A and B are shown apart, each in its own frame.
Chain A
Amino acid sequence: MGLFSGRKHGGLFTFNRDDGYLEAILRDYNNLCQCDTLEDMKMHFLSTDYGDFLAGEPSPIHTTTIAEKATQKLVNEFNHIRNQAVEPLSTFMDFISYGYMIDNVVLLITGTLHERDISELVDKCHPLGLFKSMATLSVVHNVADLYNNVLIDTPLAPYIQNCLSEEDLDEMNIEIIRNTLYKAYLEDFYNYCKFLGGQTELIMNDILQFEADRRSINITINSFGATELTKDDREKLYPQLGLLFPEGTSKLSKAEDVDQVRGILEVYSTYRSFFADGVNNEKSLEDSFFEHEVHLNRMAFEDQYGYGVFYAYIKLREQEIRNIVWIAECISQNMKQKMNQYIPIF
């Protein structure tokens, strides 16, 4: 992190030339308090950054509307930043949206396999991961069409071409496709952050390594019941980065049950505590992952002159929307005692 070490964006002296304004625009971050009714919540939003994003919505408000509107606001902000960004920040922002594109592509493949109406699927896609060739989706009738006409034109094409063939789409389990794509994406993103260097590398390494480890652990735990995934295949799905790679992942690929996974992770101080109270309860393991992710993303906000904060902002906003929806659900279902179970951000 030296002053003059090789990096592709500005450092202490010159970062603000291209990216200072956009970096600073992310630097306000409000927390949401708790309210009695959904109408109260709407009033409370007015005093936060969300402002009147619910204005014009007829009462009573549904939680789905809140989630939709909040996501829409996040997407608008993302596009605002993306449109103002110059290289190399713009490529970095594209990388963030690729993660959502993978989910959308997987959704499309699933939908096409089950011969669902395509336009109906597009509505369900995450708006951050929309891509241009979605306009040509109307001509798609089967998986071959999808592969040759649509997927090849997406920014994900290199990942798809390298790991999947046309026949794979028909035969492979959809979760395996998703994880294969995500592995390729994570490795590419990781290398790109290394290429950028500087503070970006410093912050993003931690975040992406954790993301990779989380996926490895989740793949392992989720594959215990499934018979179609051999141990060799399982190892192929693990991203080749992270604290667990290569020793931990090769151990994980041989694990038979959750207790063995816990034994393997005992060695890693970061992950030890996750299993301390989480081994019996799948939900709380997931929660501790989320909590650690939020912690890492907050670290990005302690830093300046790097792109980690752009990634962290999108991720924290996503978590915030999940929290808002959770609180709103609790309010609408009158389960106030569970309301505090959201993941605190700041």
Chain B
Amino acid sequence: MVNPNSIASSDYSGPIDYSASYYGLSTYFIATIAPSTWGAIGIGISLALSVVGSAWGIWITAASLMGAAVKEPRIRSKNIISIIFCEAVAIYGIILAIILNGKIEKFLNVEFPATDYMAGYMMFGAGLLVGFCNVFSGICVGISGSGCALGDAQNPALFVKMLIIEIFGGALGLYAVIVGILMTTSTSIGLTKEYVPAPTPSPK
């Protein structure tokens, strides 16, 4: 085994064995991506996918709500709640995006890069988590909201029951936000003011 960092041009001893290093040859490229890139992708995915879920839900609910409200206008104000629940799903995405955005500083922490890498991967993971959870939460709320509008039009007693089901659907997105915040709460990318480099041991 040869440590690739200590090869001098004079004592070349065949091809370098990267398996000895921290990254294998096939995964080394991941380490070449800057941690702030991961953070930025996380922010983008979190908001973009949440909006997909939210818009899909509103679309499903609104189509049914409009049709049902033509003949039964009394349902229109009540069922706006279904639209608001779908909208809340997008707000979850915004919350996480804002939190992540506050955790990316201007300069990378070159002195101690491991914290940056950790933070970058955590932000990417949190973004995926919140994004996908909110897609499905939004669709769930949308479909039950559509059922709520139709049910309410036929039988007003169904409204509250359907609303509870929608709230459970909306709670799924909230779980993702909670875990997403937990994942990133103790991490940040770049030099923060609180960071004090560990004192170098005296050569005594």
Residues of A within 8 A of B (CB): 12-13, 16-17, 20-29, 49, 301, 304
Q: Give the residues in chain B near A20, CB-CB below 8 Å.
A: 60, 63-64, 67, 146
- 12 CB contacts below 8 A, A to B, read A12-B143, A13-B60, A16-B59, A21-B66, A23-B150, A24-B64, A24-B67, A24-B153, A25-B68, A27-B68, A28-B68, A304-B147
Across the interface, A23 reaches (CB within 8 A) one of B56, B67, B139, B154, namely B67
Q: Give the residues in chain A near B146, CB-CB below 8 Å.
A: 16, 20, 24, 304
Number of residues from B at the complex interface, CB < 8 A? 20
The interface centre, meaning the residue of B63, B149, B153 with most chain A CB atoms within 10 A of its CB, is: B63
CB distance from A181 to the nearest CB of B (A): 34
Query: From residue 59 to 89 of chain B, which have CB atoms closer than 8 A to chain A?
Result: 59-60, 63-68, 70-72
Across the interface, A24 reaches (CB within 8 A) one of B56, B59, B143, B149, namely B149
CB distance from A306 to the nearest CB of B (A): 13
Main secondary structure of the interface of B (DSSP, over half): helix
B60 with A25: CB separation less than 8 A: no
Q: Flag B167-180 by CB within 8 Å of A: 1 or 0 each.
A: 00000000000000
A304 with B70: CB separation less than 8 A: no
Q: Give the residues in chain B near A304, CB-CB below 8 Å.
A: 146-147, 150
Residues of B within 8 A of A (CB): 56, 59-60, 63-68, 70-72, 139, 143, 146-147, 149-150, 153-154
B72 with A28: CB separation less than 8 A: yes
Q: Give the residues in chain B near A27, CB-CB below 8 Å.
A: 67-68, 71-72, 150, 153-154
Across the interface, A25 reaches (CB within 8 A) one of B67, B139, B143, namely B67
CB distance from A345 to the nearest CB of B (A): 12
Nearest A residue to B59 via CB reads A16
A13 with B68: CB separation less than 8 A: no
Q: In whole angstroms, what is the CA distance A21 to B68 when docked? A: 8
CB distance from A59 to the nearest CB of B (A): 28
CB distance from B13 to the nearest CB of A (A): 57
Q: Give the residues in chain B near A24, CB-CB below 8 Å.
A: 63-68, 70, 146, 149-150, 153
Q: Give the residues in chain A near B71, CB-CB below 8 Å.
A: 25, 27-28, 49
Q: Give the residues in chain A near B139, CB-CB below 8 Å.
A: 13
19 further A-B contacts with Cβ under 8 Å, apart from A24-B63, A27-B150, are A13-B56, A13-B139, A16-B59, A20-B60, A20-B64, A20-B67, A21-B67, A23-B64, A23-B150, A24-B66, A24-B67, A24-B70, A25-B68, A27-B154, A28-B153, A49-B71, A304-B146, A304-B147, A304-B150
Q: In whole angstroms, what is the CA distance A29 to B67 when docked? A: 14
CB distance from A303 to the nearest CB of B (A): 10
The interface centre, meaning the residue of B67, B72, B139, B149 with most chain A CB atoms within 10 A of its CB, is: B67
Q: Give the residues in chain A near B154, CB-CB below 8 Å.
A: 27-29, 301
Q: Give the residues in chain A near B153, CB-CB below 8 Å.
A: 24, 27-28
Q: Give the residues in chain B near A22, CB-CB below 8 Å.
A: 67
Q: In whole angstroms, what is the CA distance A16 to B153 when docked? A: 17
Q: Give the residues in chain A near B150, CB-CB below 8 Å.
A: 23-24, 27, 304
